[in-house]
C-alpha cells in the first residue's frame, strides 16, 4: 500500500478545511453554482453553507442564450455527490463571461 504522504504533502480535503468560516464557491451538478459561508464539511464533501446563493443556469426553449436565476437560503445542506469542485470565493478571477 502506498503511503499517501509520500505522494502529497497535504491532502486535498485540507484545502476545504482552510475554507471553514470563509465564503466559498461550489460548482454543482446540473449547471448549478453556490456561494456561501462554509460552516461544515465531511470527507464525502457533504457541506453546510450559511447565507447561500445558488445560481442555476438554464436554456429557455427556442433560445440559444444561457439564462440564470438565483435562489437564496439562510442555511443549506449540500449532499457531497452533487459537488464537482470547491474554491475560496475570494480567489476567483473571471477571465471571460
Which residues of the shown chain bind another protein in the complex (CB under 8 A)?
1-2, 4, 6-16, 29, 45, 80-81, 83-88, 91-96
Within 10 angstroms of residue 96's Cβ, the number of other Cβ atoms is 3
Minimum separation from the CB atom of position 39 to another protein (A): 17
CA distances from 10 to 1, 42, 70, 83 (A): 18, 16, 35, 21
Minimum separation from the CB atom of position 18 to another protein (A): 9
Report the C-alpha dihedral over residues 58, 63, 66, 67, rounded to 10 degrees. -60
> Which of 28, 52 has the CB closer to another protein?
28
> Which of 4, 60 has the CB closer to another protein?
4
> Which of 69, 94 has the CB closer to another protein?
94
Within 10 angstroms of residue 36's Cβ, the number of other Cβ atoms is 24
> Which of 68, 85 has the CB closer to another protein?
85
Amino acid at each position: 500500500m502506498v503511503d499517501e504522504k509520500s505522494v502529497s504533502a497535504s491532502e486535498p480535503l485540507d484545502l476545504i478545511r482552510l475554507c471553514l468560516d470563509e465564503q466559498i464557491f461550489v460548482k454543482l451538478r446540473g449547471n448549478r453554482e453556490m456561494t456561501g459561508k462554509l460552516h461544515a464539511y465531511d470527507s464525502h464533501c457533504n457541506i453546510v453553507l450559511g447565507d447561500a446563493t445558488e445560481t442555476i443556469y438554464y436554456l429557455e426553449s427556442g433560445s440559444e442564450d444561457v439564462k440564470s436565476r438565483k435562489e437564496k437560503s439562510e442555511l443549506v445542506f449540500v449532499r457531497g455527490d452533487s459537488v464537482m469542485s470547491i474554491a475560496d470565493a475570494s480567489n476567483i478571477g473571471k477571465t471571460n463571461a
